[in-house]
Amino acid sequence: MTPFEAITQLKAQMSKSIIGQEKLIDRIILVLLADGNMLLEGLPGLAKTKAIKALSKSVNCGLSRIQFTPDLLPSDITGTEIYVPDEEEKFIFQKGPIFSN
């Protein structure tokens, strides 16, 4: 399969889940190809999360979402140490969403 065919197939798979958002799909694929980062902003109900879920399912990778709210703390993004008394009373690091694909 050529790279062009793979991109066309990815776009077709994402278009099955997200209808009427061709520009969004094109931009997401462009950022994926450029190995970049993307911040999706918009009103509720515009398929932002659904688009990223469709992408992660299509390329078979993990998904983690960060909901930016006024009370967001750094540990909500990076993770935190959790005390586990059952396992020899030690702390275990629970990874945050930044440790995803």
Is residue 97 in some structural domain?
yes
Q: Are residues 89 and 50 in the same domain?
A: no
* Residue 21, domain extent: 3-58
Q: Name the strand (E) or helix (H) holding 94.
A: strand 90-95
Name which of 26-35, 58-67, 75-84 the model is least confident about: 58-67
The answer to whether residues 27 and 52 belong to one domain is: yes
Does residue 63 sit within a domain? no
Say if 38 falls within a structural domain. Answer: yes
Percent of the chain with pLDDT strictly greater than 90: 22
Q: CA-CA distance, 26 to 60, in Å (whole number)? A: 19
Same domain membership, residue 46 and residue 19? yes
Residues 45 and 8 in one domain: yes
Which whole number is the average pLDDT over 78-92?
85
Residues 37 and 74 in one domain: no
To the nearest whole number, what is the mean pLDDT of the chain? Answer: 87
Residue closest to 29 by CA, chosen among 47, 46, 4: 4
Q: What is the pLDDT of residue 34?
A: 92
**pTM, whole model, 2 decimals?**
0.68
Q: What is the pLDDT of residue 87?
A: 66
- Band (pLDDT 50/70/90 cuts) for residue 5 is very high
47 and 89 together in one domain? no
Evaluate whether 62 touches 101 at the Cβ level (below 8 Å).
yes
Torsions phi, psi for 79 (to 5 deg): 115, 180
Same domain, 26 and 44: yes
- Identify the pLDDT of residue 11: 92
The reply to whether 34 and 53 lie within a common domain is yes
89 pLDDT above the threshold of 90: no
DSSP 47-59: SHHHHHHHHHHHT
Which pLDDT does position 21 carry in this prediction? 86
13 and 41 both lie in a single domain: yes
With 90 as the cut, is the pLDDT of residue 97 above it?
A: no
Q: Classify residue 52: in a domain, yes or no.
A: yes
